[in-house]
Structure formats: C-alpha cells, structure tokens
A and B are shown apart, each in its own frame.
Chain A
Amino acid sequence: MLSRDGKKILRGVNLEVGDQEIHSIIGANGAGKSTLAYTLMGLQGYEHEEGSLIFDGEDITKLSITERARKGITLAWQEPARFEGLKVRDYLAIGAKNKGGITEEELKDALRKVDLKPEKYLDREVGEALSGGERKRIELASIITMKPKLAILDEPDSGIDVVSLKEIVNLIQTFKENGSSVLVITHRKEIAAASDKASLMCEGVILRSGDPLEISEFFKNRCIPCDSRVSPPKAA
C-alpha cells in the first residue's frame, strides 16, 4: 500500500511477473499505473508502507533505487529526463558499467534497435537538441544496453508516431528474447496484444489479471465508459 496526504494511492496490488514474461498494465489515466512503476523502482516519495516486493526470490522492499537496479530492475520513464550536455554514448554506457562495460558495436547496435542511426546520434547530447520522440528512443536504447532482468516501461509508445508502434512491439519482444521480463504500462491494444499477460488497474487496485486481449476488451467495454470511477467495476 502507498498513500499520500492520507489518501490511498495504491491498495490491493497483487502482481506477479514471470520469468521472460511480457506483462501489460492497462488502465485509465489516474488509475495508479505510473505510481506502481515508480514504487517498483523504489523512487523517492513512492516507498510503499505495507506489503512486500519479492524479486528473484529475495525481498527487495527496503532496497534503494541503485540496489534494485544492480539486482536487474530498471525503469524507462514516460517522459525521459533531458540531461544537458550528456552525450548519448556516455548515457548508453552507464547501464553497462556494472557488467564490465560496453563495446562500440554494442552501443551502435542498441541505437539501431530503436531505429536511430548511430553515426547521427552517438555523439550528440541527450538533451535539448533532440525531439521528445528521439529522447524516448534513446531512453529505450539505454535499457537495451543495461540488459535488465526486469524492464519496467512506462508508456514506451508515448511521443512516438503510430508508424513506429510496430517497432516498439518488436523491441519489447526483443527484450524478452534477450532474457528480460517486461512490465509495460500502456493504453495501446497493439502492445497489450503482444503481451503474455495483462492486468487491469483502477483507483490503485489491480482489478483482474489474465489474457491480454480479454483484459483489453474489458477495459474498452467497462472502464472507458466509466467516467466517474467512484465505484470501480467489480472484478469478475
């Protein structure tokens, strides 16, 4: 459970993500999806008060962001940080620091996987010179170089054009093929459809988990018409 100003933000979250599983979190704006992502990463101000977080059989509830990252958890923000002056190559190399570093070819390969030309981007700055979509791709490339056990992706498709959605889906599949589990927060049916499992969130609660297409349909038919969200739809 996580509360703020006396209000419960997350409650009744019971979630299990399997090994090399792509798990979508679906829900309306304000449902608590990003809060869940921040809580799993252990961000400041998102420390949960009750319950526990088990990763690879170990209780990591009390671990810091850095400690969780070194266990193999990482997060891609919906709106990536700007990093004035930091070169793309230096940013991408950071995630690989604790794994013995990274080769030039691996850096280039990470950029190619997010459809960016290495010769154009590797020596540019992450910050102001790049568009939101480009920074988003670089954020995803930084996850690739880190090779995490669990990648938490907060709306990886936001700021990226519809044509590129297929590439994002392919990228998520690549994470899986490379041995990562992926927890992806999304509104997109296409991303949910590529998942192994999905969970529906509303008002800080995981309402139900199961087949991604079923959960997507449930969301479309029951949650979108529910504009008050005072009484969330009951779990089936």
Chain B
Amino acid sequence: MTQITINTLSNEIESMDAAYSAAGGDAAVLHQHELASLVISGNKVLNANGTEGIVLETQETKHGVDVKMTIKKGYKIPLPVHLCFGLIPEDGLQEINMNFVAEEDSAVELIAHCTFPNAVKIIHRMDAQMHIGKNASLKYIETHFHGPHGGIQVVPRAHIKIEEGGSYCTNFSLVSGRVGYLEFDYSVDAEKDSVCEMVTKVYGKKDDKIKVIEKVSLNGENARSVIKSRLAITDNAESEFRGITEGHAPRARGHVDCMEVIQGNAKAEAIPIVRVDNPLAKVTHEAAIGCVDKKEVETLMARGLEEDDAIDTIVKGMLA
C-alpha cells in the first residue's frame, strides 16, 4: 500500500515537472535543496522546501491548499523561491489561498509558474494577501500556461500592503497557449516612501476573454507606482483593462501605461483611472489601442520577413 502511494506521488511529481517545463520553468530547480520551493498539484502539496529565513506552512483543503510563507526579519534571500501550482487532468477546481509576509528589512524574489497544460474544463482561483514590511522588498514573477484548448477560468485576486520604504514589483505573464477566461484583480496600498511596479502581459487568441484590474492607492508621502499593461489580442478575443491609481499623499507619484494591440475581430477596452485628492500628489496615464505599427512591420519586411512573421515578432517583443 505504501509502495503504491509512493509510486502515485512519484508519477504526479513527474507530471508536474513536465507541466512546469511546459510553462517555461526549469523543473530541476524544484528538486534542489538549497533552493526554497513549493509545488502544489490540485489540492496536494508535492513539495514544500523552505530555506534559512523562510517559514513555509501549508494546509491541504477540499479543493486546494492554504499557504503561508513568511520571510523573517532582516533576511535577504539570495536565490529566488520557486512556486509551481497546477492541475494535470483536463477538468477540476483548484483554490489557492496565499498569505505572504515579508518582514521588516527582508528581501525575496518569488518565481511562480501556474500550469494547466491539458485544461478543458478547469477553474483556478487564487486569493492572496501580501504584506511587505518596513524597508522590505518582494519581487513576484508569475508565468501562466493554460494549454491549447482554452477551457479554463483563472481568477487571481490579491491585496498587497507595502509598509514604509518597502518595495513590491510584480510581473504577470500569460503569452503562450490559450488564455481561456482570465479575471485578474490586484490592489495595492502603498505607504510612505514605498515603491510599486506592476507589469501585466497577456496574449489572447480565438475566443479568449481577458479582464485585468490593477489598483494602487498611494496613501503615504512620496509613495511611487507604475502600472504597465501590454495586451495583444487576435481572432475573436476580447480584453478589458482598468488601471487605477489614487494619489492621497504629498509627493505621491503614479503612472498608468496601457498598450493593447488588436488584430482580426478582436475587441479591446482600456480605461486608465486616476484619482487625486492631495494637491501635492501627481498621477499620469497613457493608453493606446491599435493595430501593430505599420513602420515596424514594413521595416521587418524590408529585412526579409513575411508580413505575418513581422507582426508575430513585434507582438512577441512587446510581450517579452
């Protein structure tokens, strides 16, 4: 019985390794003991490896896992922490509840791959709370891979609190394979002298639907933020972007920058919203939706690329 369990687990680890690689990750990092890592398949924790300065707690639930990760005060984690969440079957539900705490003066980089390579009817929900302590730094790089079928709903929600002098930098990328349905909703409260940078890159195809809401409240003096989204949609895909920045404190500075490229019958909507209630705060925005720049296409054609390859190169560059 024990042997069967181990074999089953072993097969699942192999499948997740393959799925991790399909999402663009290097599966070897998940098995290196000197690197902190967490691998969750469905509601099973396949691997949870903390290193010095990191406290990692997990609790399996009916449809997912509750995760609490704490970076202890003053620890600068030298190597990235690797996270892998996913589902191998064609259908299923995964709910991840995450609680990240980066204590005062700590620093960490999280590299997450969320992978659903065979998704036909999958729902993946993530609810995250992130607390970045005074002068702490959290970098969160999240890459998704949803396979070729588009049969997936992905709903990541996060609330991030950055304390004085803290820094939060996130980069969400979903550019390979299909999107399916994505409803991305992150909000940030930024206190005095904190820095927030949020970058989102998504490539929608066929009948994919993309909804991105990013909100930063600059509550503290001299808090700074950039929201940058790059969306490309083609065929009959639809996208909706809301980038909201609120300046509530003196010398708070924020910028919202959205660029969407559309092709075929795709439909895009981009709404940057800026709200300022402190006369010493300043928030700016820019948004552009359109086809691929003609001069860029013609330049690459003048170097010998076919028109479709030129457009593909430009879109991939924008989403890189």
Contacts and interface: CB of A to CB of B under 8 A. Distances in A.
Interface of A: 41, 43-44, 64-66, 68-70, 73-75, 77, 80-87, 90, 94-95, 97-98, 125, 142, 146
Contacts of A77: 295, 299
B303 A85 contact: no
A146 B319 contact: no
Contact of B305 (A44, A66, A80): A66
Interface SS of chain B: helix, strand, loop or mixed?
helix
B313 A94 contact: yes
Given A83-B314, A85-B320, A66 B296 contact: no
Given A44-B294, A77-B299, A86 B314 contact: yes
Contacts of B298: 41, 43-44, 65
B26 interface: no
Most A CB within 10 A of own CB, among B296, B313, B319: B296
A98 B318 contact: no
A74 B317 contact: no
Nearest to B301: A65
A69 B313 contact: no
Nearest to B295: A81
A69 B302 contact: yes
B274 to A, nearest CB: 22
B304 A146 contact: yes
> Which bracket fits the contact residues of B?
20 to 34
7 contacts: A69-B301, A74-B303, A80-B299, A81-B293, A85-B316, A86-B314, A95-B304
Interface in B273-320: 293-296, 298-307, 313-314, 316-320
Most A CB within 10 A of own CB, among B298, B302, B314: B302
Contacts of B306: 66
Contacts of B314: 83, 86
Contacts of B296: 81-83
Contact of A94 (B294, B305, B319): B305
A203 to B, nearest CB: 26
Given A44-B294, A86-B314, A66 B301 contact: yes
- 6 smallest A-B Cβ distances: which pairs? A86-B317, A85-B317, A65-B301, A95-B303, A81-B296, A69-B304
B305 A97 contact: yes
A43 B318 CA distance: 23
Given A81-B293, A81-B299, A97 B317 contact: no
A36 to B, nearest CB: 15
Most B CB within 10 A of own CB, among A65, A75, A90, A125: A65
Contacts of A43: 298
Given A44-B294, A81-B293, A86 B313 contact: yes
B187 to A, nearest CB: 27
Nearest to A85: B317
B304 A98 contact: yes
A159 to B, nearest CB: 15
A69 B317 contact: no
A73 B304 CA distance: 9
Contacts of B299: 75, 77, 80-81, 83
B236 to A, nearest CB: 25
A153 to B, nearest CB: 12
Contacts of A75: 299, 302
Contacts of A80: 299
A73 B302 CA distance: 8
Nearest to B307: A66
Given A66-B307, A77-B295, A94-B313, A85 B301 contact: no
A9 to B, nearest CB: 18
Nearest to A146: B303
Contacts of A86: 313-314, 317, 320
Contacts of A70: 304
A217 B259 CA distance: 48
Given A68-B302, A69-B304, 20 more contacts: A41-B298, A65-B301, A66-B305, A69-B302, A75-B302, A81-B293, A81-B299, A83-B314, A83-B317, A84-B317, A85-B230, A86-B314, A86-B320, A90-B317, A94-B305, A94-B313, A98-B304, A125-B317, A146-B303, A146-B304
Nearest to B316: A85
A70 B300 CA distance: 12
A69 B320 contact: no
Nearest to B319: A85
